[in-house]
């Protein structure tokens, strides 16, 4: 269902304000190439980006390329990523992902959503993060902050991340897709927090459905 004109206008006002509030919004995961971003994003599940950034330098020094991670001893991988939580499952996922990169793509990270989501441990959010931030391809990465904010702001009633992704793709011009997630994430971390949102200081207060209740 197409968004109403009111919601479309609200969406554009929201991003205009957020661009002024967070002019330097960008991915907080540190990476030097698409492979590093892919692995870091898998590790970021149920873990802060800050903690992932403390783990990945050592991980990539030990396993700098997909082939290195693909043939590593699983126990060694588990030890490197232990602080990110759920390390046994994550270690299996990132090693299987690396193996798939070597076997299917000669150690290169593919540049299509369809290929990325076929990799072990990679869902649409991770794929969109990589497409947008490593390859500069227009994509909307929907994660927990994004889901929370678009619901509170009244941009959509959808709860499913994939449905939210398509709603946001309709509401915003393609040139803003990559940046949109970073703006919402920064605002979610700084002001519109999951617990105790700081509505009194929020620059989006007059546009927010949750603040009007």
Q: Which domains does the chain have, with CATH numbers?
A: 5-26+140-212 (1.10.1670.10), 34-135 (1.10.340.30)
pLDDT score, position 213 = 55
pLDDT digits (tens, 9 = 90+) for 41-76: 999 999 999 999 999 999 999 999 999 999 999 999
Query: Which pTM was predicted?
Result: 0.94
From CA 17, how far away is CA 12, in angstroms rounded? 9
What are 13's two structure tokens?
A: 């006002």
Cα atoms in the 13 Å half-sphere on the side-chain side of 1: 8
Exposure string for 143-171, b = 16+ CB within 10 A, e = fewer: bebbbbbbbbbbbbebeebeebbebbeeb
What are 212's two structure tokens?
A: 């009007």
């Amino acid at each position: 269902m197409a968004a109403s004109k009111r919601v479309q206008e609200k969406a554009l006002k929201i991003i205009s304000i957020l661009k002024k509030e967070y002019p330097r919004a960008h991915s907080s995961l540190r990476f030097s190439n698409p492979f590093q971003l892919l692995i870091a994003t898998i590790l970021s599940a149920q873990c802060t980006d800050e903690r992932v950034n403390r783990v990945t330098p050592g991980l990539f020094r030990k396993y700098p390329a997909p082939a290195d991670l693909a043939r590593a001893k699983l126990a060694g991988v588990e030890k490197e990523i232990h602080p990110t939580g759920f390390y046994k499952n994550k270690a299996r996922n990132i090693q299987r992902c690396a193996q798939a990169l070597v076997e299917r793509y000669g150690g290169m990270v593919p540049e299509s959503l369809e290929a990325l989501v076929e990799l072990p441990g990679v869902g649409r959010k991770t794929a969109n993060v990589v497409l947008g931030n490593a390859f500069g391809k227009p994509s909307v990465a929907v994660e927990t902050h994004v889901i929370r904010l678009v619901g509170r702001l009244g941009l959509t009633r959808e709860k499913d991340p994939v449905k939210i992704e398509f709603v946001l793709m309709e509401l915003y011009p393609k040139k803003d897709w990559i940046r949109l997630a970073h703006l919402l994430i920064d605002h979610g971390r700084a002001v519109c927090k999951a617990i105790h949102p700081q509505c009194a200081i929020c620059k989006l207060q007059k546009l927010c459905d949750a603040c009007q209740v």
